[in-house]
Amino acid sequence: MTSPVNAQPFQFDLLARDGRARAGVFHTPHGDIPTPVFAPVGTAATVKGVPPRDLKELGATLVLANTYHLYLRPGDDLVARLGGLHTFMGWDGPLLTDSGGYQVFSLRDIRAVDDDGVTFKSHIDGSLHRFTPEKVISIEDNLGADIIMTLDECAPPLDRAYNQEALRRTHTWAERCLRAKTRSDQALFGIVQGGVFDDLREQSARFLTALDFPGYAVGGLAVGETKTQMHHVLDLVDPLLPEHKPRYLMGVGTLEDLFEAVARGIDLFDCVLPTRLARHGAAFTHAGRLNLRNATLSEDRHPIEEGCACYACQHFTRAYLRHLMRADELLGLYLASIHNLHFLLDTLRHIRQSILEGRFADLKRQRVGS
């Protein structure tokens, strides 16, 4: 996809709306991202088991990497000295780094949270570290992703008092992140928090919108609330966020969630599910998840999914994949990962096309039944 000649850095072109679903293009220094889009997760500067050339072939246009993991190993300063994350991991397309907030708070090995920042133990060697908004921006600056995220405090979605306190910090931290940011080739996204509480979500959306970020994430979802609650938060936030900025729903990747979120105006997604499930032997199909270790597949001559254009489905049978999984062969993990990534990336391409053609609701009904 080529940029319009006059595209500004991090301009978001909204090309079509279908209901509240949106199709657009987000321009970044490393290329254009057609939206809605799914970003494969490359936690430790690699999408597990998948070479960058395969990501290109799969049509990935955005890859996520984890600030927390890369800060600890190999170290963001080292990555900077080696030319930044794009060069280091051999991915020249758009990159997004999270802030590490989610990892720090979900590891639950926190030593202290205060208004200044959070002290935590490394999951690798138990050493103590401290993230402040300024520190996180400096790490993300070193890594050099196109899209970077503010440090936020992730609270359990149903705990009102906790969310209220966390939100106050998250907002102060968002302001400090904005002030700390220096690179003009990075877009800093704010993260709307507030759990399942309407007033907190609304307060968060209004506060962050006033800070005029080039994009917004909706955080703290898909972490324990019901689907109804998730949909309600998305419904609530949608009209409060600026129309001409991309919206990112963090960590969401089931087929149903993707469709429901696109239907509520979300443009960006990331999730470890396609590669994680692949490593456990599960493959995505239109009929649901297929357990590749299942004995019923031992003589199955079909590909994982009939008609699928991925390398795995074009060349290998379920019987072969079952054999690889049973024998704990690396190729099984690779082929299942390729397929699962293709499944989601291709689904998002179909979603985008359906929005451009005004038939998103039909596609949604066909794919997830409602």
Contact positions vs its own copies (CB under 8 A):
44-46, 48-53, 73-74, 78, 81-83, 88-90, 298-299, 301, 311, 315-317, 319-320, 323-324, 326-327, 329-331, 333-335
Residue 266: φ, ψ to 5°: -80, 145
Q: Would you say 165 or 329 has its CB closer to its own copies? A: 329
Q: Would you say 15 or 78 has its CB closer to its own copies? A: 78
Rg of the Cα atoms in the chain: 20
Q: Would you say 171 or 342 has its CB closer to its own copies? A: 342
CB of 126 to its own copies, least distance (A): 17
CB of 55 to its own copies, least distance (A): 11
Is there a catalytic annotation at residue 270? yes
187-192 and 110-113 as β-strands: parallel, antiparallel, unpaired? Answer: unpaired
What angle do helix axes 133-143 and 160-180 make, rounded to 10 degrees?
50
CB of 308 to its own copies, least distance (A): 15
Cα dihedral sign for 119, 122, 126, 127?
negative
CB of 363 to its own copies, least distance (A): 32
What's the Cα-to-Cα distance from 318 to each of 89, 100, 255, 275, rounded to whole Å?
31, 38, 22, 18
Q: Would you say 20 or 129 has its CB closer to its own copies? A: 129
Catalytic choice (98, 146, 238, 267): 98
Which positions are annotated as active-site residues?
A: 98, 270
